[in-house]
Amino acid sequence: MKPFSIGLQIFLLLPCLIFGRTTVNFPNLSDDDGLLKFPDDLMIGVSTSAYQTEGAWDIDGKSPSNWDEYTHVKNFTPNADIACDSYHKYKEDIKLAANANFKFFRMSLSWSRILPTGSLENINYDAINHYKKVLNEVKKQGMIPFVTLYHWDHPAIFDKFGGWNSEKMIIAFNNYAQVVFKNFASIVKFWTTINEPIAYCYYEHGKGFLPPGDTFEGRGPYICGQNMLIAHAQVYHLFKKKYNNYNPNSQIGIVNACWNFYPANSSESESAVIAFQYNCGWLSNPIFSKKGDYPDIMKQRIKENSYLEGLSTSRLPELSKSMIKLIKGTSDYFGLNYYTSRMTNNVKKSQSEKWFDDSGVDMTINNEWPMDVAAWLPIVPEGLGDMLRIIKNKYKNPPVYILENGIASDGNRYDLERTKYFYSHMKEMLIAKNRDDCNVKAYVVWSLLDSFEWVARYSQPFGIVHVDHNSPHRTRTPKTSYYWLKDMIHQRALPSTFITPLHPPKIIYWNGTEI
């Protein structure tokens, strides 16, 4: 029996709140109805993360991160010791992004570079200087840097005390954030504290798929989620109190991965609503809902399941009144990573494994949905539009930054599938914004480069730029989707139907200057 195999569910889970659950039938669109124009307040950007691209794993004072240690112990071949070598090739990357007309450049910082021992006594100024150069280069190339403090890599030493399963991590994160803000808050005005806490907690502490590789099923993901939530909230308040004025109109928030859910059976809609709460709602409710706290359904069902297992307390830790207060409202925007959706079914209440999945909801993939090469990623563009409408209705129409959206497609430079994916998702996003008044402020593509895809290594290339991982130069070559996005951003509108781009793309080899 797996008391917490819901993890998969949780993660795979998603939403559909009462209001937004129904699929909307779109009217016939034409170019001139304005729905497919990019309004002036919408920024289009591109995203990367430190561990997935930087390499230089032991250079200039960096200590091993949790991921370095894990990939070395597990003998990952290939690993991310060099990755895309962006530590050295950052100017090329930034120029590539700028030349595609992106306005936002999302990146994360390597904690183990900046605080190699995890302690404030050893600030690594080589790392600080490196990131100053990177951030200034982003601005010099006309883009706005959008910085994630934590995209899953931390000094390996923290795993000795249990990583995010320990409250010590909250203090460690505060220390790290303080150093980062002190040094970069005058350069950067858009911040994210933690990328996809639930994905990390589920895969790390639920399944042991990620470093340090220990499973702590049952309670682990919930404890990890709570520690991250509190760490996030404290860092939000730290920023507002001490660093908000370093830059006018600074913003700081968190980013959650939300998938959309559709009931498999037309006779009920509850399963999709519950799925939303276990996935998107789990850490969004405490921040964005009026009442704060975890969703009631999670509190009820996890407690009930814990008792069934003979435990005397719920595996979901409680948030005290003061914690609820501390956490509520701690995000200046709703950070959303959207990739995919699932169908949902209620599972009959029994002592069966599925019910013990904590949610009582099962998930499947609709076999009419086209599949990506990544097996977890059926392509469901309407899920993005529906999710935006749910967020609008459920959380009082907060500004939404879509901070990741993309597919792995294949390694081909003529990446028609990826280009179509962007078209269909951007179309949904524009309709949600222009027709339904969803307050979307940014759409950020995942990802600039074919990078290290965590446990999938390099087998799932998400880049709009191909990286030759067999070459010591890690040669970059823009794909068809890169040129397509460049054109769309320039035109600031999508055509009413997808126009297949010409094959092959203009450039075969990017040498860092010409494009």
CB 505 within 8 A of CB 478: yes
Q: Is 102 in the site for ligand GBH (CB under 6 A)?
A: no
Q: What are phi and psi of 53, to 5 degrees?
A: -125, -35
Q: Is 216 in the site for ligand GBH (CB under 6 A)?
A: no
Q: Is 462 in the site for ligand GBH (CB under 6 A)?
A: yes
CB of 73 to ligand GBH, least distance (A): 19
Report in angstroms the alpha-carbon separations of 335 from 16, 76, 195, 259, 400: 17, 31, 9, 13, 6
Binding ligand GBH (rule: CB under 6 A), the pick from 76, 246, 376, 414 is 376
CB of 376 to ligand GBH, least distance (A): 4
The sign one gets for the Cα dihedral 112, 114, 115, 117 is: positive
Build a one-symbol-per-residue string for 184-213: x at contacts with ligand GBH by CB under 6 A, - elsewhere: -----------xx--x---x----------
Build a one-symbol-per-residue string for 329-348: x at contacts with ligand GBH by CB under 6 A, - elsewhere: --------x-x---------
CB of 342 to ligand GBH, least distance (A): 12
Nearer to ligand GBH, 86 or 244 (CB): 86
Binding ligand GBH (rule: CB under 6 A), the pick from 93, 404, 415, 450 is 404
Q: Is 234 in the site for ligand GBH (CB under 6 A)?
A: no
The sign one gets for the Cα dihedral 59, 60, 61, 67 is: negative
The HSE-up count of residue 156 (CA atoms within 13 Å, CB side) is 18
Task: Give the max Cα distance, the chain.
Answer: 66
Q: What does the alpha-carbon distance between residue 396 and residue 311 come to, in Å, rounded to a whole number? A: 37
Q: What does the alpha-carbon distance between residue 326 and residue 151 come to, in Å, rounded to a whole number? A: 23
Build a one-symbol-per-residue string for 26-65: x at contacts with ligand GBH by CB under 6 A, - elsewhere: -----------------------x--x-------------
Strand order in the sheet with 260-263: 260-263, 341-346, 361-364
Instruction: Enter the DSSP assignment of 287.
Output: H
CB neighbours of 129 closer than 8 A, spacing ≥ 6?
Answer: none
Nearer to ligand GBH, 255 or 323 (CB): 255
- Contacts to ligand GBH from residues 116-175, by CB under 6 A: none
Q: What are phi and psi of 71, to 5 degrees?
A: -65, -30
| Whole-number CA gyration radius for the chain | 22
CB 275 within 8 A of CB 260: no
Positions of E strands within 93-196: 104-108, 144-150, 190-195
CB of 324 to ligand GBH, least distance (A): 27
Nearer to ligand GBH, 158 or 462 (CB): 462
Build a one-symbol-per-residue string for 236-265: x at contacts with ligand GBH by CB under 6 A, - elsewhere: ---------------------x--------
Question: Which H or E run includes 342?
Answer: strand 341-346
CB of 311 to ligand GBH, least distance (A): 28
Decide if 404 is catalytic: yes
Nearer to ligand GBH, 294 or 446 (CB): 446
β-bridge mates for residue 37, sequence order: 493
Q: Which of 54, 69, 137, 404 is flagged as catalytic?
A: 404
CB of 259 to ligand GBH, least distance (A): 9
CB of 92 to ligand GBH, least distance (A): 20
Nearer to ligand GBH, 195 or 306 (CB): 195
Q: Is 449 in the site for ligand GBH (CB under 6 A)?
A: no
Nearer to ligand GBH, 293 or 404 (CB): 404
- CA-nearest of 57, 82, 228, 148 to 444 is 148
Within a 10 A sphere around the Cβ of 32, how many other Cβ atoms? 9
Nearer to ligand GBH, 173 or 446 (CB): 446
User: Where along the sequence are the contacts to ligand GBH (CB under 6 A)?
Assistant: 49, 52, 195-196, 199, 203, 257, 337, 339, 376, 404, 446, 453, 462
Q: Which residues are marked as active site?
A: 404
